[in-house]
Amino acid sequence: MTDKQDTQTTPKVTSGQAKANKPAASKVAQKSAKGGRMAGIMALLALLLGAYTSYQIWLTNQQLTNLQQASQQQASVQESLAGDVSRAGAEVVSLKSSWQQQKQILAKQQQNMDLALQEALQQMAQTQNQSQQKLPKWELAEAEYLLRLANQRLAMEQNPAAVITLLQAADEIMRSSEQVGGYLVRQAIATDIGALSSVSVVDVEGVYARLAGLLEQSLGLNYIAVIPLKAAEENGAADATNEETPVETLTWDQKAWQVAGDLAEGTWQELQSLVRIQERTTADQWLLSPDMEVLLAMRLQLGLTQAQAALLRGQQDIYQSSLAQVASLLHDYYRHSDPVVQAMQAQITQLSQIQLLTAMPDISSSLYALQDLQAAIYDQQGE
């Protein structure tokens, strides 16, 4: 009887305990599920943060590699500029030496011609006194000398204005000589003067002065300076970050997101302080070191000096190539917005269009006409 009562009492107690334990088990399961979600979120955030940090490190390494390559290229350009400056300087020295030699040769030839004319006039005077013959007047010999000198200067200097002056002087001598048959000589001289008057003359002195002005302007050029970095934009007082929910009312999810955001922002600020990204624009192609600025200024001045030497020698190819090099340097290494650079580029464009070499006419007809007249006079006197 007692065993039967015990058997009936035990199920009643077990059923009551089960009913009491059901709410407790449900709460434990809810807490476990919530903790699992938090752990998953934290793991995902840690994974994303690690990936982002790795990417920033890789990007930093790439930028450092690019900076090293740019430094190597800059050193190569500097060596090339130094070599070009040295070669250009040697070429300018050679051109100046050659020009001085040619000037000396021309002066010596002119001196020899003057001496020859004086000797010829003296011989003619002596012969006339000895033979008592009526020889052509000395004015014809002087006119012949002027015509020869005009042909020589046209060939050597290609200066039509100076040649026209010599021809006019010879024509004045023929007019005052009153020599029979002198009209044909004067007619030939007038034809030569008309041919020279139609030739477009290059103002060598004016072009040389303009090149000298460009040399003076080059001293005031502004080199391409280092571009300042843009300041980081600061958030305003009314930014959304200042309107966040107070820390006391945040849930665990919100706190986790806030911690991750603060960590990411701190990492980004540190990377920004370590890496400086410099922006380039189309107007700023090169960043020059002080040494390269000196070499560039020397190269620019040597190019203009070389153009002046080519102008004096009448070398069209060297003249245009020198101006093209100067224009290229202005385009590659100086600010396009600089008014001085713009003015220099405009002047170089105008100077490059000047043709130094012009086809000169043949003015030997007047000299041949005078020689024919002298020969006819000698033939008549010989008879």
Residue 169: pLDDT over 80: yes
Q: How far is residue 87's CA from residue 287's CA, in Å, rounded to a whole number?
A: 24
Q: How far is residue 128's CA from residue 151's CA, in Å, rounded to a whole number?
A: 29
**pLDDT in the model for residue 242:** 47
pLDDT band at 272 (very low <50, low <70, confident <90, very high): low
Q: How far is residue 138's CA from residue 168's CA, in Å, rounded to a whole number?
A: 18
Domain ranges of the chain: 202-223+286-359
- Give the mean pLDDT of 210-237: 62
- Give the mean pLDDT of 157-178: 88
Residue 233: pLDDT over 50: no
Q: Higher model confidence: residue 350 or residue 292?
A: 350
**pLDDT in the model for residue 139:** 82
Residue 299 contacts residue 85 (beta carbons within 8 Å): yes
Q: Which of 47, 104, 59 is nearest to 275 (CA)?
A: 59
Residue 88: pLDDT over 50: yes
Q: Which neighbouring-strand residues pair with 223?
A: 334
Helix, strand, coil percentages in the chain from 3-state DSSP, rounded to 5: 80, 0, 20
**pLDDT in the model for residue 1:** 45
Residue 229: pLDDT over 50: no
* DSSP-assigned letters across all residues of 12-75: HHHHHHHHHHHHHHHHHHHHHHHHHHHHHHHHHHHHHHHHHHHHHHHHHHHHHHHHHHHHHHHH
Most confident option among 27-41, 148-162, 239-253? 148-162
Q: Across the chain, what does the average pLDDT equal?
A: 76
The two structure tokens encoding residue 267: 């990492």
Residue 197 contacts residue 175 (beta carbons within 8 Å): no
- Give the mean pLDDT of 172-192: 87
- What is the per-residue pLDDT across 42-59, written as a single tens digit (0 to 9) for each? 888 888 888 888 888 888
Residue 315: pLDDT over 50: yes
Residue 181: pLDDT over 80: no
130-137 own/partner pairs: CB under 8 Å, 24+ apart: 133/381, 134/381, 135/381, 136/179, 136/374, 136/377, 136/378, 137/177, 137/179
Question: Residue 203's CB: how many other CB atoms inside 10 A?
Answer: 11
Core vs surface per residue 330-352: b (16+ CB within 10 A) or e: beebbbeebebbeebbebbeebb
- Give the mean pLDDT of 151-178: 88
Residue 355: pLDDT over 90: no
pLDDT band at 127 (very low <50, low <70, confident <90, very high): low
Amino acid at 313: R
pLDDT band at 228 (very low <50, low <70, confident <90, very high): very low
CA dihedral of residues 96, 102, 108, 109 (deg, nearest 10): -160
Q: Which stretch of 4-18, 250-264, 291-305, 353-367 has the lowest confidence by average pLDDT?
A: 4-18
Q: What is the pTM of this model?
A: 0.40
**pLDDT in the model for residue 146:** 94
pLDDT band at 171 (very low <50, low <70, confident <90, very high): very high
pLDDT band at 86 (very low <50, low <70, confident <90, very high): confident
**pLDDT in the model for residue 10:** 46
pLDDT band at 274 (very low <50, low <70, confident <90, very high): low
pLDDT band at 136 (very low <50, low <70, confident <90, very high): low
Q: Which stretch of 27-41, 173-187, 355-369 has the lowest confidence by average pLDDT?
A: 27-41
Q: Which stretch of 111-115, 183-187, 299-303 has the lowest confidence by average pLDDT?
A: 111-115
pLDDT band at 271 (very low <50, low <70, confident <90, very high): low
Q: Higher model confidence: residue 65 or residue 233?
A: 65
**pLDDT in the model for residue 247:** 46
Q: Higher model confidence: residue 90 or residue 321?
A: 321
Q: Higher model confidence: residue 313 or residue 151?
A: 151
**pLDDT in the model for residue 26:** 64
